[in-house]
Amino acid sequence: MTAIKTEAQDVLRLTNISKSFGATKANSDINFALKKGEVIALLGENGAGKTTLMNILFGHYTPDTGTVEAFGQMLPPGKPGAALAAGIGMVHQHFTLADNLTVEENILLGTEPLWKLGLGRAAARARIVQLSQDFGLAVHLAAKVGLLSVGERQRVEILKALYRDARVLILDEPTAVLTPQETDALFVTLRKAVALGLSVIFISHKLHEVMAIASRVLVLRHGRLVGEVAVADTDKHALAEMMVGAEVAPPEIAAAQIGAPILSLRAVSVVSQGTKGGLQDIDLQLKSGQITGLAGVSGNGQAALADLLSGLIVPDQGEVEIDGRAIAQWSPRIALSNGIARIPEDRHKTGAIADFTLTENVILESFKSAQFSRRGWMNKAEADRFARHVIDTYDVRCPGPATPIRLLSGGNMQKLILGRALEPGPKVILANQPVRGLDIGAVTYVQSRLIAARDAGAAVLLISEDLDEIMGLSDVIHVISEGRLSPGFARGSKSATELGIWMAGHGFAEDAA
């Protein structure tokens, strides 16, 4: 790590920050400084340690080692109040606003001593109006927050920070929920803020936005700062490569015995809904005995594709085909009954019901089947037997099948979900980020199970933001970018750098021409 030079202009300096959660090193030995009037981007995949680092900076977490300095003053670790007072304002990805209160009330909350008569609304209003003019943050002060669009709510969050005299703004994935127009407006605001002498830390994994707004980019990977470059000296390809890592360590994998296509998409388009991107004219074949890898920076249509294949959304145009026949009706139940198994992206939210037991969770998808129910009564003994079988076969470490699943570690929860998906012998396996957040042992285990399922003849779709994982496991690789799907590249036919070019959105243009 390069030593950070002490400069009078530094508003924020992080020195030797390390933080572990159990065996996982979320941040190791991170150093950087933020100067007055600059925007730095913190770039990295999910799980790279960006949010942990910002939570340390803001005092939500106490670092294991290292110090945070703001305006030359050491910040006491683990005290959000001190960070607030020092002029650090954070705009969280999930807003902390009260919907039934007005914009003005949300901004004023906590800014005045509690035991005081009167809110001083007139003076406050004048100041908020001034701030919103200075920074180009148009909001309607008397409106209830619940009635505002997501973009407007974000403006309220930024105004909240500015009203508290923030000199450093930290924005955690601010564009994840915005439309392109709102993103442009946000960038105008940030440029005004910088012109007025504020400093900004912009957390993102969207390369073109980073290139558009930041002057300097810090790249985090696996908790380490792997690069620090000026935007002027780099381009999207180089950043993509730095972000996902170019080193490849392929696991043991035999040659594929590729069979017939089982689940196919023909010229499928899906209109974008809310924050979920759409899909444009996708052709995809998932073939028996083959792992199909889907590479791409997250938020480029992966979620829509996964929902489409599992029956949660229906195509606006094009056909879904199973065994070469177009499907007239498409729903999760039809997908399940056709042998399509799912490993959902978010195991806590969509993969399991936290307070249900392991037994109940393991039969969530099949509780109606003859195996587990008869004449409307559940066969508890059979369900328990099945749960024990999954626990033994997939090495789920737990006190027993009657344990609520929320008590399990992420890895063990994922193994149970894996068992639930694989045990019926599915024809298609949709694995969306199957190893996200798992430790190395669980990662290897889950991956080897997917390979075994492939060898047994299943068609596997592996969606991941980790290019190493994609390149190591996939027999054929598609890249998704802004809802468009690249042609399939056979194993070993493209380097990480070449895939990175596709991930950055190039290559598609040739097809269109």
Partner 1 sequence: MELFDILMTASFWAAAVRIASPLIFATMGEIICERAGVLNLGIEGIMVIGAFTGWMAVYSGTGLWGGVAVAMAAGMLFGLLHSVLTVPFGLSQHVVGLGITLLATSSASFAYRLLLPEVTSPPRIVPFQPYEVPMLSEIPLIGPALFAQTPMTYLAFATVAVVALVLYRTPLGLAVRAAGENPSAVASQGLSVTGLRMGAVIVGSGLMAVGGAFLTMSAFSSFFFEMVNGRGWICIALVVFGAWKPGKALLGALLFAAFDALQVRLQQTPLGAQVPYQVFLMIPYVLSILALVLMSRRAEVPAALMVPFNKGER
Can you say whether residue 164 is alpha, beta or left, with left for phi > 0 and alpha for psi between -120 and 50 degrees?
alpha
CB of 52 to partner 1, least distance (A): 14
User: In the complex with partner 1, which residue's Cβ is closer, 166 or 503?
Assistant: 166
Please tell me the distance from the alpha carbon of residue 416 to that of residue 366, in angstroms, as a whole number. 14
- Tokens encoding 100: 């039934």
* E-strand stretches of 143-260: 168-172, 199-204, 216-221, 224-230
CB of 120 to partner 1, least distance (A): 9
Give residues with Cβ within 8 angstroms of 65, minimum separation 6. 16, 17, 18
User: In the complex with partner 1, which residue's Cβ is closer, 123 or 249?
Assistant: 123
CB of 403 to partner 1, least distance (A): 20
Best CA proximity match to 150, nearest among 209, 94, 207, 90 = 94
- Residue ranges in contact with partner 1 by CB under 8 A: 80-81, 84, 94, 96-101, 105-106, 108-119
CB of 6 to partner 1, least distance (A): 31
- Tokens encoding 119: 């809110």
SS3 for 203-216 is EECCHHHHHHHCCE
Chain position carrying tokens 């889950």: 446
User: In the complex with partner 1, which residue's Cβ is closer, 30 or 148?
Assistant: 148
CB of 124 to partner 1, least distance (A): 11
Best CA proximity match to 320, nearest among 382, 378, 268 = 268
CB of 213 to partner 1, least distance (A): 25
CB of 82 to partner 1, least distance (A): 10
User: In the complex with partner 1, which residue's Cβ is closer, 94 or 325?
Assistant: 94
User: In the complex with partner 1, which residue's Cβ is closer, 22 or 113?
Assistant: 113
Quick one: DSSP state of residue 372? T
User: In the complex with partner 1, which residue's Cβ is closer, 91 or 421?
Assistant: 91
Best CA proximity match to 467, nearest among 458, 479, 455, 475 = 479
Radius of gyration of the chain (CA): 25
What are the C-alpha distances in Å from 322 to residues 162, 266, 332, 369, 486?
Answer: 55, 11, 14, 22, 22
- Tokens encoding 471: 């390149």
User: In the complex with partner 1, which residue's Cβ is closer, 59 or 351?
Assistant: 59
